[in-house]
Amino acid sequence: MDAISHLGNFFKICVTRALTQTYFSGWGGVEAQGICRDPDVSREKQIQFADDMQEFTKFPTKTGRRSLSRSISQSSTDSYSSAASYTDSSDDEVSPRDKQQTNSKGSSNFCVKNIKQAEFGRREIEIAEQDMSALISLRKRAQGEKPLAGAKIVGCTHITAQTAVLIETLCALGAQCRWSACNIYSTQNEVAAALAEAGVAVFAWKGESEDDFWWCIDRCVNMDGWQANMILDDGGDLTHWVYKKYPNVFKKIRGIVEESVTGVHRLYQLSKAGKLCVPAMNVNDSVTKQKFDNLYCCRESILDGLKRTTDVMFGGKQVVVCGYGEVGKGCCAALKALGAIVYITEIDPICALQAW
Ligand SMILES: NC(=O)c1ccc[n+]([C@@H]2O[C@H](COP(=O)([O-])OP(=O)(O)OC[C@H]3O[C@@H](n4cnc5c(N)ncnc54)[C@H](O)[C@@H]3O)[C@@H](O)[C@H]2O)c1
């Protein structure tokens, strides 16, 4: 079951990277041609701002508790290591919520699958650090100064070796962080354990139920004697939770950073309704996100995701890619390199010409 869910998730990574959400029908065409065989894709459940009442919309699915599917952040899912979570199958059945765990310093201010995996997770983080020189040089530049002293960041992102480097950088710069996962499948348990061992208040594990998902977010936000003053979100669920359950927290929030287009869309809805009372930054407005992450990272992950979900050969397959923007360009290049016959739909004449 885990493997199937995992694969379904990876397919979604590719789809969401290549297309805007409104373009899913285009990929339905791909499915019809036999490239997508994962039933979970069509059974995905999304949680989003539904209307001005800010109610959740939940589409019931057959998979029940395990079916919540979130958009995937590019940076956190590209490496091979992100795809693998080395879970000790012996404790699979016990919910982390039912376990009493402490790290080596005696703290139990976290909830992860298995704290004993911390050492292995640390090695993964160290490997990721080698490829994340900008953040590492930020740490060096701060040289023990704490430019983020006073920042209390509540975060909700994928929890992988790469995001761990980000979280630990924020901590190294003086921020206090409490973190949960924005996706119920993508957490690398060993990395979450390493963060917990390092003293980060992390609440996440791979294969959370929907109830677990919100419980983890709540544990991050709702803590006696600690109140966040910044939100770092990927998908908007955390922001929404704070908005719905703890609106007073916004009185202290200095700003929101949102990674995903979906989350930004939700923020725009709030803004239009006159309910966005703090500044928000759209990570996609960053040129490095658009021109590097969207293009090159999607170029790599599309194949990884499709291969994992379908296990088919792509040479000679007919593939439709909807949109030839940064993501579409990357995906097309990768698919063509495998010998697929790529069809592109595009409404922008310039992009359409580029695709020609
Ligand atoms: N999941 C992820 O990790 C991830 C990462 C990056 C981007 N994305 C998503 O991928 C999508 C594309 O991102 P991008 O950076 O390439 O955006 P982009 O704006 O560069 O490209 C989108 C392209 O789609 C075209 N388009 C719009 N409506 C169309 C339609 N009806 N039919 C055909 N083409 C149409 C546009 O003209 C544009 O060229 C975004 O929605 C973004 O959210 C996901």
pLDDT tens by residue, the chain, 356 residues: 333 333 333 333 333 333 332 222 222 222 222 223 233 333 333 334 433 333 333 333 333 333 343 334 444 444 444 444 555 555 567 899 999 999 999 999 999 999 999 999 999 999 999 999 999 999 999 888 999 999 999 999 999 999 999 999 999 999 999 999 999 999 999 999 999 999 999 999 999 999 999 999 999 999 999 999 999 999 999 999 999 999 999 999 999 999 998 899 999 999 999 989 999 999 989 998 888 889 999 999 999 999 999 999 999 999 999 999 999 999 999 999 999 999 999 999 999 999 99
Q: Which residues pair with 32 in a beta bridge?
A: none
State the pTM of this model: 0.74
Q: How far is the CA of 34 from the centre of ligand 1 (A)?
A: 23
294 within ligand 1 shell (Cβ under 6 A): yes
The phi and psi torsions of 256 (rounded to 5 degrees) equal -125, 135
282 within ligand 1 shell (Cβ under 6 A): no
Q: How far is the CA of 7 from the centre of ligand 1 (A)?
A: 23
- The CATH code that applies to domain 289-355 is 3.40.50.720
Q: How far is the CA of 128 from the centre of ligand 1 (A)?
A: 28
* Pairwise CA distance, residues 48 & 235, whole Å: 9
Per the CATH hierarchy, to which homologous superfamily does domain 110-228 belong? Adenosylhomocysteinase-like (3.40.50.1480)
| Among 12, 69, 261, 265, residue to substitute to test ligand 1 (most atoms within 8 Å of Cβ) | 261
328 within ligand 1 shell (Cβ under 6 A): yes
Q: One fold for both 110-228 and 289-355?
A: yes
101 within ligand 1 shell (Cβ under 6 A): no
Domain boundaries, the chain: 2-79, 110-228, 289-355
- In this structure, the residue with its CA closest to atom 15 of ligand 1 is 326
